[in-house]
Amino acid sequence: MIELRNLTKRYKHTVAVDGVDCTVHSGLVTGFLGPNGAGKSTTMRMILGLDEPTSGTATINGVRYDRIRHPLRTVGALLDARAGHPGRSARAHLTALARATGLPVRTVDAVLDRVGLTDVAGKRAGTFSLGMAQRLGIAAALLGDPAVLILDEPVNGLDVDGVRWIRALLRGLADEGRTVFISSHLMSELELIADRLLVIGRGRLIADASMAEVIARSGAAVLVRTPDAAALHAALAGAGADVRRTGPHELAVTGVSAERVGDIAHATGVRVHGLTTEQASLEQAYLDLTTDSVEFGVTR
Amino acid sequence: MKNAIAAEWTKLWSVRATTWCLIAAAGLMAAMVAANGIAINGQHDDNLPGLTPTAATEMPVEATIYLVQFAMAAIAALAVTGEYAHRGILPTLQAVPVRWRVPAAKAVVTAAALFACGVLLAAPAIWLADVTLAEHGAPYTGGDVVHTLLTVGLYLALVGVLTIGIATALRHIAATLLVLFTLLMVLPVVMQISQTFRDLSHYVPGIAGIDLMEGTHVLRGALVLIAWAAAAMITGMVVLRKRDA
């Protein structure tokens, strides 16, 4: 569990993080969403004790990062995939980290295997593609088998395979009861991974809600294809949803989540051939949330 | 702290720069000692006036002061500035968040490595000086050999710690080497302008090193170097603590 209490970081002329107050719970993947420059990385750096907050506190399981006895065994973090000497091999990089936190060196081979870098373990990290570097960064985060994971833009630079791999990995880690905190500037990315969402803009926390709530609130329609459109229409309307018939076999439902639509269909005994959330309006919802808080926006 | 030291040891030896700097140090030591030995030998053969006899044990000291120490100090400088140049400082501080421990561990590791390498380089250098000076070398004792080996090692170790401190405070390779060159070379030369400054120059690292290694003022030389190294380390630790990573 990560707790941020009135966390603030002020530089000479700007406020990077402005009184952020929230809790990141264990057992969930929490997405940290915001445009570039919104304060995501600064917040994560303060949690990890790399930047000193101007005021407020960030604690992990109630303890400040620099007071944790074995930090890498408690918190695994990836801030910058390219962090580390480019001339050092992946294995040496991880070995140094293992030694720093008193872990046996064999954990290095295990974690290299877990992220699929065994074959290139002896190669210099500087020769890695961005995707491989990202895997090495994730290996470093997983090294100490930590209960808390903090990953800054972990999907950046990964190919389709890599993205699927990391989604499954993060889901698994959260299901094991760990705290998983990941940032992204893309709503579409987090929609598939995150259970909860913290939205930040210009250093301020704009939203702190479950993914389903955010989607419901966004006005994004759930599109459902069904041969029994009329029956489902009635059932959904009865449940208080706003339903439009968009085709002979398609309904657009607003005000409820896709999960709820599926549940209602199941309860009604209606066959469902397709169930999606309207992506365009979901991105729009995110833009609406953050319009006033884009640091380097262009005039639209 | 033990873990931090083990980690820094691994980091030091897992980049090529360390090896290259050691090769450079060995090359510079051999080249300067051999060239000097041959030159002194030739001057004796030509019966140049005003020649004082030189012992083989003095020659590695001279090579260390003029050349070898900079290749060695580069190892220490890169161990710190390489972390900032490549943001390796992020994982390093995540693993060791009690910040003073990072430069402390680097200092321990660098001092140990440079002491050992200093001794290991000085030994064959004495032999090389012997060979090149031939019959014109001044006599020396076994004690002189031990003194040269230990003080060259100690001097390089203390320069290494001084460098770690400066680099931690400045975070940049060029700035670090500039400050270091000023302390080890520029100030000692500039301060020869008057007797007052000459007296004071014994409290500057470069001249203190000569006092230590040439045996003119061993204890004072060692203490001056230790004081500079400690001051640099404390400055580095304070800066590291105050500044965001």
Q: What is the C-alpha separation between A229 and A233, in angstroms, rounded?
A: 6
Q: What is the ipTM of this complex?
A: 0.89
Q: What is the C-alpha separation between A100 and B13, in angstroms, rounded?
A: 15
* Residue A218, pLDDT score: 67
Band the pLDDT of B118: cuts 50, 70, 90: very high
Q: Is B11's CB within 8 Å of A48's CB?
A: no
* Residue A295, pLDDT score: 52
* Residue A294, pLDDT score: 57
User: Which residues of B fall below an 8 Å CB-CB distance to A?
Assistant: 3-4, 6-11, 14-17, 82-83, 86-99, 244-245
- For residue B15, the chain A residues in CB contact (below 8 A) are 85, 87-88
* Residue B47, pLDDT score: 81
pLDDT at B62 over 70: yes
* Token pair recorded at residue A266: 């199941």
* Residue A300, pLDDT score: 42
Least CA distance to B4: which residue of chain A? A100
- Min CA distance, B28 vs chain A (Å)? 25
Range of the domain at B94: 2-242
Cβ-in-10-Å burial (0-12, 13-18, 19+) of A129 comes to exposed
- Interface with B, mutate which of A99, A103, A142 (most B CBs under 10 A): A99
Q: Which CATH class is domain A2-215?
A: alpha beta
Q: Is B82's CB within 8 Å of A85's CB?
A: yes
Spell out the domain ranges in chain A. 2-215, 221-277
Q: What is the C-alpha separation between A155 and A157, in angstroms, rounded?
A: 6
The residue-averaged pLDDT of B184-207 equals: 92
Fold (topology level) of A221-277 = Alpha-Beta Plaits (3.30.70)
The pTM assigned to this predicted structure is: 0.86
Band the pLDDT of B64: cuts 50, 70, 90: very high
* Residue A296, pLDDT score: 53
* Token pair recorded at residue A52: 């000193």
Q: 3-state DSSP call for residue A48?
A: coil
The 10s digit of each residue's pLDDT in B210-230 is 999 999 999 999 999 999 999
Partner residue opposite A80 with nearest CB, options B10, B17, B90? B90
- For residue A93, the chain B residues in CB contact (below 8 A) are 14, 91
Number of domains in chain B: 1
* Token pair recorded at residue B29: 């030591």
Chain mean pLDDT for chain B: 93
Low-confidence residues in chain A, pLDDT < 70: 216-219, 279-285, 288-300
Residue carrying the six token digits 């040439």: B214
Q: What is the C-alpha separation between B66 and B222, in angstroms, rounded?
A: 18
